[in-house]
């Protein structure tokens, strides 16, 4: 795996911000996220600005801990989690990556 960090243009990040804000509003969830893998971590790259969102931009979590996004990256299949929908602690990445 390459250790080179990909830089995303600010115009793209701004568009992603708009998209996650809209998705969180439409789906009625507290958070919608765009995650970025930066080994040995996974980072919240863009986080919706919705009320009750517990995630902050640049928040890090270690890889290989069983996060939903890791499962989706490994299997390359959608992951649906109704359990987390009921608890209200979900993100678009958790629902369908």
- Domain extents for the chain? 10-95
Residue 94 has pLDDT above 70, yes or no: no
Region 29-56: what's the mean pLDDT?
93
CA 90 to chain centre: 10
Q: Which of 44, 76, 48, 78 is nearest to 61 (CA)?
A: 44
Residue with tokens 């996650």: 20
Alpha-carbon distance 78 to 34, whole Å? 15
- In tens, the pLDDT along 54-87 reads 999 999 999 988 777 788 888 888 766 655 544 4
Give the pLDDT band of residue 46 (cuts 50, 70, 90): very high
What mean pLDDT is reported for the chain? 81
Give the pLDDT band of residue 3 (cuts 50, 70, 90): low
């Amino acid at each position: 795996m390459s250790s080179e960090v990909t830089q995303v243009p600010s115009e793209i990040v701004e568009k992603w911000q708009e998209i996650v804000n809209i998705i969180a509003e439409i789906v009625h969830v507290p958070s919608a996220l765009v995650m970025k893998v930066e080994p040995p971590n996974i980072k919240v790259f863009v986080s919706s600005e919705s009320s009750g969102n517990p995630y902050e931009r640049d928040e890090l979590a270690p890889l290989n801990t069983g996060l939903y996004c890791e499962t989706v990256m490994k299997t390359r299949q959608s992951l649906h989690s109704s359990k987390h929908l009921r608890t209200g602690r979900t993100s678009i990445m958790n629902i369908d990556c």
